[in-house]
Amino acid sequence: MAKSIYAIGTLDTKGSELSWLAKKIKEAGQTVTVVDVGTLAEPLIKPDISRETVLNGSDLPKTDHRGDSIRLMGEALSIFLLKEFAEDRVAGVIGIGGSGGTSLITRALRDLPIGLPKLMVSTVASGNTAPYVDCSDITMMYSVVDVAGLNVVSTAVLGNAAHGIAGMVKYRQNMVASKRTLGMTMFGVTTPCVTQVRETLESHGYDCLVFHATGTGGRAMERLVASDLVTGVLDITATEVADEIAGGVFPCGSTRYETLIEKKIPLVLSLGAIDMVNFGGIETVPEPFKRRNLHVHNPQVTLMRTNKVENIKIAKWIAEKLNRGTSPWTLLIPENGVSSISTVGQPFYDPEADAVCFDTLETELKVSANRKVIRIAQDINSPLFASQLVDEFEKLVS
């Protein structure tokens, strides 16, 4: 059976728009399957796949609260699309919608594999798209006008979207897993270290994927690990954990490190940028933190120095994760500074705050012959520290 582009929308409100979009995809030379995920009334056009098929026997809640119906339909769509993908039917996915439809459809798109073409035409695509995209590779396209009828603007946008998804599918760049594909985490203040590690390992024949440690970066890396596309990790930058503990804007999420442990891949870790919690502009720093040691990185980013209490919590949080399972790992501690601004003379220099984190980790972690903690009297961006990271990783894979 030929693969198809799945065009998804709530056909009780977006019938003519999705029908026109499907026609344009066909004109672009692609097979299309129209999927209804409406939750309000009967579909305005006949879909190729009905909402009943998507729901697979489930009933929408009998309530006036639309959010419950959207949540249930989104969960059902995720299960349905993953099944269709597993049966090799899906070439790509495109959705159209307002705020409700966008929430519903992207809930399912986020669960599809990275690399599969996915495009969402949405009325909310010009705002904060993080809740819809998270760590997936959804392409968000702003509809400009509401997805409510066919007019000079909507036909232009939907036509471009149709040709966009058709082109993604026709010229898709397939990802091929390799046993020498590595993930590593980086932040601006750990860039020299990660750059040296990456360049060294690339010279040794590895394909290195660098993830910006902004919360979604760490989750994206772990998602690729879960998909067996990344087979080794140098998790050098841990600032996402500091944000998770102290309420910064780049939290790692409650499951961080779990996939790395479960997959039992070669894993080297460090504590890059645990000296800082991230906020937006200086005016966004919460009131309880206004009198803390703050550093304005740029007009949009303000950093707060972590204190002893937070560093103890960070260490215990990391230790609790690493103590799960029996997979091998090595943790390298840069005793002379965990970022470029925590070394001597820099604004976040606080060796006592760092030390309580290091000491707590050594106390809490369950070490063994293949689960080691190594202290190094260097700062994280020292060339000697970067070399040690590479050496310890290559010991794990040898």
pLDDT tens readout for residues 345-369? 999 999 999 999 999 999 999 999 9
Between 25-29, 71-75, 159-163, 285-289, the lowest mean confidence (pLDDT) is in 71-75
- What percentage of the chain reaches a pLDDT higher than 90? 84
**pLDDT exceeds cutoff 80 at 62:** no
Whether 228 contacts 177, CB under 8 Å: yes
- How many whole angstroms from its chain centre is CA 341? 26
Task: Using the predicted structure, report yes or no on whether residue 331 has a pLDDT greater than 90.
Answer: yes
Q: What is the mean pLDDT of residues 86-93?
A: 96
Intra-chain end-to-end CA distance of the chain, in Å? 44
φ, ψ for residue 372 (rounded to 5)? -120, 150
pLDDT above 70: percentage of residues in the chain: 98
Instruction: State the pLDDT at residue 207.
Output: 94
pLDDT at 66 over 90: no
Q: Which amino acid is at 120?
A: M
Give the integer Cα–Cα distance in Å for 17 and 145: 12
Structure tokens at 275: 């000296």
CA distance linking residue 286 with residue 176, whole number of Å = 44
CA gap 224, 202 in Å, rounded: 19
Q: Under a CB-based contact definition with an 8 Å cutoff, are residues 261 and 295 in contact?
A: no
Cβ atoms 45, 15 nearer than 8 A: yes
Sheet with strand 294-298: strands edge to edge: 276-279, 301-305, 294-298
For 333-382, the DSSP string reads EETT-SSTTSSTTSTT--HHHHHHHHHHHHHH---BTTEEEEEESS-TTS
Contact 114, 137 (CB under 8 A): yes
d(CA 228, CA 222): 10
> What is the reported pLDDT for 271?
98
Produce one character per residue of 12-26: b if its CB has 16 or more CB atoms within 10 Å, e if not: bbbbebbbbbbebbe
**What is the distance between the alpha carbons of residues 389 and 372, in angstroms, rounded to a whole number?**
13
CA angle centred on 383, ends 377 and 384, rounded to 5°: 40
pLDDT band, residue 398 (cuts 50/70/90): confident
Q: Would you state the structure tokens that stand for residue 136, as one six-digit string?
A: 């997936």
Enumerate the domain spans of the chain: 4-170, 181-397
* 4-170 and 181-397 share one fold: yes
**What is the pLDDT at residue 59?**
76
Range of 169-173, 212-216, 379-383 with top mean pLDDT: 379-383
Query: How far is 170 from 2, CA to CA, in rounded Å?
Result: 13
> What is residue 61's predicted lDDT score, i.e. its pLDDT?
67
pLDDT at 63: 63
The residues, any chain, with a CB within 8 Å of residue 152's CB and separated by 6 or more, are none
Dist CA 334 CA 242 (whole Å) = 17
Per-residue pLDDT at 325 exceeds 90 = no
Q: Where are the alpha helices (DSSP H) in 176-307?
A: 191-203, 216-226, 239-246, 258-262
Q: What is the mean pLDDT of the chain?
A: 94
**Which CATH architecture best describes the domain 181-397?**
3-Layer(aba) Sandwich (3.40)
| pLDDT tier at 327, thresholds 50, 70, 90 | confident
Task: Tell me the CATH class for 4-170.
Answer: alpha beta
H runs (alpha helix) in the chain: 15-27, 51-55, 66-86, 99-109, 130-133, 152-170, 191-203, 216-226, 239-246, 258-262, 308-322, 351-364, 383-397
Length of the chain equals: 398
pLDDT for residue 49 is more than 70? yes
Rounded Cα–Cα distance for residues 120 and 30 (Å): 18
Parallel, antiparallel, or unpaired for β 329-334 and 4-9?
Answer: unpaired
pLDDT of residue 174: 81
Pairing of strands 4-9, 232-237: unpaired
Exposure string over 155-165, b if 16+ CB within 10 A, otherwise e: eebbbebbebb
